[in-house]
Amino acid sequence: GAGVSQSPSNKVTEKGKDVELRCDPISGHTALYWYRQSLGQGLEFLIYFQGNSAPDKSGLPSDRFSAERTGGSVSTLTIQRTQQEDSAVYLCASSLAGWAEAFFGQGTRLTVV
């Protein structure tokens, strides 16, 4: 596609439910990143995928968070048993290679009530 696409744009969920957030990177981009942006805060790195290498999960805040990238393209970020502190905007980015410019999607605003 023309840019990084994220869905849904907004998601409201009840505390304790599981949610899945989707990211479609730019075609041909081998690197994919997930970031979290809490209200009024900067971006916090969550996880990074590069080609077929094992993902860098060093930013995941707890074991309730997981992500996968199927076929080196689409990625899904899953949050299990959501908590109110998980409320944030989740941004996905992709780049042609690990060192190249990262292009961001418009994010998913997650609200846990």
Partner 1 sequence: AQTVTQSQPEMSVQEAETVTLSCTYDTSESNYYLFWYKQPPSRQMILVIRQEAYKQQNATENRFSVNFQKAAKSFSLKISDSQLGDTAMYFCAFMKQRGAGNMLTFGGGTRLMVKP
CA distance 44 to 93: 13
The residue range among 18-26, 47-55, 62-70, 72-80 that interacts with partner 1, by the rule CB under 8 A, is 47-55
CA atoms 72, 101, 41, 10: torsion sign = negative
Cα 74 to Cα 38, 69, 83, 105, distances in angstroms? 24, 6, 25, 13
Q: How far is the CB of 84 from partner 1 (least distance, A)?
A: 21
Among 5, 20, 59, 76, binds partner 1 (CB under 8 A): 59
| Interaction site with partner 1 (CB under 8 A) | 31, 33, 35, 41-45, 48, 50, 53, 56, 59, 89, 91, 93, 95, 97-99, 101-107, 109
